[in-house]
C-alpha cells in the first residue's frame, strides 16, 4: 500500500479479525495545485479531482483564497520513510474551509481533512 494509504496493526476489541486486504483508508489526501504569493502563502487553489495522485473525474477548477489561517508542521517516520508536511488552513472565496498541506519532500500540494 502506498505511503498515504498505508494502515498499521489492528487494535484489540474485535472478536473476528478483519481481512486486511479489504481495508480502505479513509480521508486520503487529494492532489491540488496551489498558487503561492511571494511569502509562500496560498492565494489560489486548483483541485484536480478526487483520488491520490490527482486521479479523478471532472475538469480542474481554480478557487481564490480569501484568508489564510493556522499553519503547522508534521514530521514523522524519520526512521523508515520520512514524512514532512506543512499544513495550512485556508478560507476560500465564497466560503469553504479547506486544509492544504505541502509535502516538504516532494514539493507537491495536497488537500486533506485534518
Partner 1 sequence: MSRVLTSDHAVCVWIPLFPLRLEEARRPELGTRPLALLDPHDGRRVWQVSPLARRAGVRPGMTIGQAIGLCPPLMLCEPDPVTYDERFAGLVAALGDVSPVVEPAELGRAFVGTDGLERLYGGPEAQLAVISSVVEEWGKREGGRGKGNAGWLYPSPFPLPASPRLGWARGKFPAWVAATRAEPGDAVIVRSGEEQRFLASQSIAVLPLDADTHRRLWQLGLRTLGALAALPEDAIVAQFGRAGRRLWRLAAGRIAEPVIGRPAPQPIGAAVDFPAPIADRLMLAHTLERLVARALASPRRTGWRVQVVRARAALEHGASWMTEVTLKDPSADRDRIAAPLKVRLEQAPPAGAVERLTVEFLAFTPGTTELQLFARDAASAARAGRRRALHAAAQEIKTRFHRPLLHHVVEVQPWSRLPERRYALIDLEP
17 vs 38 by CB, closer to partner 1 = 17
Q: Do 15 and 31 form a contact (C-beta atoms < 8 A)?
A: no
Q: Do 31 and 37 form a contact (C-beta atoms < 8 A)?
A: no
User: Nine-digit cell at 7?
Assistant: 494502515
Please, what is the minimum distance in Å from the beta carbon of residue 38 to partner 1?
30
**Region 28-57 residues binding partner 1, contact defined as CB under 8 A:** 28-29
- Number of shown-chain residues binding partner 1 (CB under 8 A): 24
Q: What are the Cα distances from residue 57, in Å, to 23, 48, 51, 54?
A: 23, 8, 9, 10
Residue 27 binds partner 1 (CB under 8 A): yes
Residue 68 binds partner 1 (CB under 8 A): no
List of residues contacting partner 1 (CB under 8 A)? 4-8, 10-11, 14, 18-19, 22-29, 74, 76, 83, 112-114
Amino acid at each position: 500500500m502506498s505511503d498515504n494509504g498505508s494502515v498499521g496493526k489492528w487494535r484489540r476489541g474485535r472478536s473476528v479479525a478483519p481481512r486486511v486486504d479489504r481495508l480502505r483508508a479513509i480521508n486520503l489526501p487529494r492532489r491540488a495545485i496551489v498558487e503561492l504569493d511571494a511569502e509562500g502563502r496560498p492565494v489560489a487553489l486548483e483541485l484536480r479531482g478526487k483520488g491520490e495522485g490527482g486521479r479523478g473525474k471532472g475538469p480542474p477548477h481554480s478557487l481564490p483564497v480569501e484568508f489564510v489561517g493556522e499553519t503547522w508542521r508534521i514530521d514523522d517516520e524519520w526512521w523508515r520513510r520520512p514524512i514532512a508536511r506543512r499544513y495550512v488552513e485556508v478560507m476560500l472565496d465564497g466560503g469553504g474551509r479547506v486544509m492544504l498541506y505541502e509535502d516538504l519532500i516532494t514539493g507537491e500540494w495536497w488537500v486533506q481533512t485534518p
